[in-house]
Amino acid sequence: MVMDEGPLEGSVTKRFLYVNRRAPYGTIYALESLEVVLIGAAFEQEVTLAFLDDGVFQLTKGQDTGAIGVKNFSPAYRALGDYDVTNFYVEAESLGERGLTLDDLQQITYEDEDDDWKEKPSIRVVSRRELAAIMAEQDVILSF
């Protein structure tokens, strides 16, 4: 299959929200979410990621899985900008409940093609109320 620039002919673009509510290594949810995010991006959908509850642990910096024998997939989040996945919404209340701040998360950036390829942060910390409003703007919500 030849992938052209721009949406595939006759295709429909929808707003997809991926809701991440689980910590990364205890279950397979987080990794599966990442895989499906890439599928959504490959099909040139409007992809948004939400991290709430234990899902905020997916983005912590300094993850080192060497001694537990599973792949550390946290660097993959930093590559999502290259697939036009640039909207990471992290819920403030979930961070606070877990004693975390934005500084505990890895830096994820993208290059804004509409602004001279300036490097910009992909992560935005939002309130629970703001996140509820973001959820209500979506066409499709996928939960992990």
Partner 1 sequence: MPTLHMVNKSPFEDNALQSCLGHVLKGDAVLLIEDGVYGALAGSAVAGMLGQQNGAVSLYALGPDLAARGLSEKPLLGGVDVIDYGGFVDLVTTLDRSQSWL
Residue numbers 88-127 binding partner 1 by CB under 8 A: 93
Does 46 participate in binding partner 1 (rule CB under 8 A)?
Answer: no
- Of 18, 19, 59, 81, the one binding partner 1 by CB under 8 A: 19
Instruction: Name, in order, each residue with C-beta under 8 angstroms of 50's C-beta and a sequence gap of 6 or more.
Output: 17, 18, 19, 20, 89, 91, 131, 134, 135
Q: Where are the alpha helices (DSSP H) in 1-144?
A: 29-42, 76-79, 92-97, 128-135
Does 16 participate in binding partner 1 (rule CB under 8 A)?
Answer: no
Residue numbers 47-66 binding partner 1 by CB under 8 A: 52-53
Closest CA to 88 of 57, 123, 61, 112: 123
- Of 18, 21, 45, 47, the one binding partner 1 by CB under 8 A: 21
CB-wise, 80 or 91, nearer to partner 1?
A: 91
